[in-house]
Structure 1
Amino acid sequence: MEIWHNPRCSRSRAAKQRLDDEGVDYTERRYLDDAPTAEELDDVLTKLGKEPWEIARTKEPAYPALLEHDRAQWIEHMVANPSLIERPIIIDGDSARIER
């Protein structure tokens, strides 16, 4: 199991704390410092059953208001600007979820 974590985000900290409290073995990925590759993000999006624009943080300065719904183009933009990726994302084998 892996969590894409931003320690400055209260929701991300809460999700990490739940995993700790449950004694779950996981890897923490601080995705702002260690951005996913396009392939990794594409894989996680597939596991989530989402398109990149569906998990984009719309209030981030890098949000591409005029970018068409082109999956590859969005993925490249999100890899270059990982703050756009909603958090936290928990990846467990063939599934993934965004903790709310």
Structure 2
Amino acid sequence: MITIWHNPQCSTSRKVLDLLRAEGHEPRIVEYLKTPPSRAEIAAVVKQLGIPARGLLRKKAPPYAEMGLGDPALPDDRALDAMVQHPVLIERPVVITGKGARIGRPVEAVREVL
């Protein structure tokens, strides 16, 4: 099962979805702004990505600067709490498979887990 945390308004997210379909996959689509993942789900994906939680933060989202999330020593708990409070802070798209998870930036990065 392949899952994509998707924002249909994002061209990169749409390109990743197109790539998945072109590769013969019909993923489970989670529009994470409408149906935000839980803190536990975000933490699990961060673990699959093998990055600190701050690595999943979308720096271009307005709450990023407003909440002072740019500190390189930002604790994972604070980053996770921020993403739960403001799902727009979750970098997009994220593809999750049985082989792991990847942020689709660049788009081709998701091929690593297909």
Name the TM-score, length of structure 1 as normaliser.
0.91
| Unmatched runs of 5 consecutive residues or more in structure 1 | none
Is 1:77–2:82 an aligned residue pair?
A: yes
In 2, distance between residues paired with 1:94 and 1:76? 26
**Secondary structure of residue in 2 paired with 1:62:** helix
Q: Partners of 2:98 and 2:3 in 1: how far apart?
A: 9
Ranges in structure 2 where 5+ consecutive residues have no aligned partner: 107-114
Q: Which has the higher contact order (CA 8 A, sep 6+)?
A: 1
Deviation string for 1:43-74 (max 9, x for gaps)? 00000011121121112111122566111121
Partner of 1:25: 26
Q: Larger deviation: 64-73 or 24-33?
A: 64-73
Q: Which runs of 4+ in 1 moved over 2 A?
A: none
User: The residue matched to 2:63 in structure 1 has which SS?
Assistant: coil
The count of residues paired between Structure 1 and Structure 2 equals 100
Structure ranking higher in helix proportion: 2
- Please report how far the alpha carbon of residue 94 of structure 1 lies from its aligned counterpart in structure 2 after TM superposition: 4.8
How big is each residue's C-alpha offset from its partner over 1:8-40, in whole Å with a ceiling of 9 and x where there is no partner? Answer: 000000000111112113100000111110000
Name the SS of the counterpart of 1:24 in structure 2: coil
- Tell me the amino acid that sits aligned with residue 11 of structure 1: T
Instruction: Supply the distance in 1 between the matched residues of 2:29 and 2:76 (Cα, whole angstroms).
Output: 26
- Cα distance in 2 for residues equivalent to 1:31 and 1:94: 21
Moved more, 29-38 or 73-82: 73-82
